């Protein structure tokens, strides 16, 4: 029987911690201070000692150099578990689904050599059990209709940008995809957005409202952050 692809969409800013890489642009000491404060339990992207407007502008200007300075997040492990669970489900299912990841490189235009390097890393992390496809899709191109046809799971860092884009153009009122799981961090877009939702369980409210259109699941923000403590432990072990 032919395999039917069961695809997980991942944006490159979820796979790599480009937030930490952007903080590095303000100097290593400033970045260390910001990460040591509330980096792993923040609820919006504002950081100790870094002027918010300056950070936002720097992040909006992120480029291939930012990406080269970024390290892999635990989202890579999430991809592996998705592939493993999909394959295990084949044992008791009449359907034959081949796990696949689609990595969206937007907003970065990458050279072929860089893409090959990233794909090789993904295949190593996932122990070669998942097919990897790389492409470039803007938020506007990823309509709810397109998502519904192509993906079982989506992993996005700035999930709110996709929701806002397709709310404003009314695509989400025309096509809902509640069978698709959208995974993002437990973050809101800004401090102002958090204040508007104060007095209630912010993330439960967001998941509940968004559930009308897509199955939103918000994970702890550290899932989308490089684990610097683990890296220190690895380096320490390597030098012992």
> Rounded to whole angstroms, how far apart are CA atoms 224 and 96?
31
Predicted confidence band at 116 (pLDDT cuts at 50, 70, 90)?
A: very high
Q: Which residue has the higher pLDDT, 193 or 237?
A: 193
Q: Is the pLDDT of residue 235 over 60?
A: no
Sign of CA dihedral 191, 165, 208, 149: negative
CA distances from 118 to 24, 68, 123, 161, 189 (A): 22, 11, 9, 24, 28
0.75 exceeded by pTM: yes
CB 155 within 8 A of CB 14: yes
Q: If you average pLDDT over every residue of the chain, what do you get?
A: 88
Q: Which residue has the higher pLDDT, 194 or 106?
A: 106
Predicted confidence band at 118 (pLDDT cuts at 50, 70, 90)?
A: very high
Q: Torsions phi, psi of 84, nearest 5?
A: -65, -45
3-state helix, strand, coil in the chain (%, to 5): 50, 15, 30
CB 216 within 8 A of CB 184: yes
Q: Residue 95: what pLDDT?
A: 58
Predicted confidence band at 191 (pLDDT cuts at 50, 70, 90)?
A: confident
> Rounded to whole angstroms, how far apart are CA atoms 55 and 58?
5
**For the segment 121-161, what is each residue's pLDDT rounded down to a tens digit?**
999 988 888 899 999 999 999 999 999 999 999 999 999 99
CB 231 within 8 A of CB 74: no
Of 179, 201, 174, the C-alpha closest to 188 is 201
């Amino acid at each position: 029987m032919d395999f039917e692809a069961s695809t997980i969409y991942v944006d490159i800013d979820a796979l790599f911690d480009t937030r930490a890489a952007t903080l590095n642009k303000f100097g290593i000491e400033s970045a260390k201070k910001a990460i040591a404060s509330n980096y792993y339990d923040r609820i919006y992207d504002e950081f100790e000692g870094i002027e918010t407007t300056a950070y936002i502008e720097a992040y909006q200007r992120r480029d291939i150099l930012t990406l080269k300075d970024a390290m892999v997040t635990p989202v890579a492990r999430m991809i592996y578990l998705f592939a493993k669970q999909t394959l295990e489900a084949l044992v008791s299912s009449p359907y034959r689904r081949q796990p696949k990841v689609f990595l969206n490189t937007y907003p970065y235009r990458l050279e072929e050599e860089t893409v090959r390097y990233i794909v090789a890393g993904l295949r190593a992390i996932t122990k070669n059990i998942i097919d990897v496809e790389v492409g470039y899709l803007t938020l506007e191109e990823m309509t709810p209709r397109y998502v519904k046809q192509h993906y079982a799971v989506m992993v996005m860092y700035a999930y709110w940008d996709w929701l806002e884009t397709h709310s404003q153009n009314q695509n989400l009122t025309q096509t809902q995809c509640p069978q698709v799981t959208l995974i993002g961090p437990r973050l809101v877009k800004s401090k102002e957005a958090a204040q508007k939702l104060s007095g209630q369980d912010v993330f439960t409210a967001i998941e509940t409202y968004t559930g009308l259109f897509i199955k939103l699941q918000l994970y702890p923000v550290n899932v989308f952050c490089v684990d610097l403590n683990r890296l220190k432990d690895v380096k320490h072990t390597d030098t012992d």
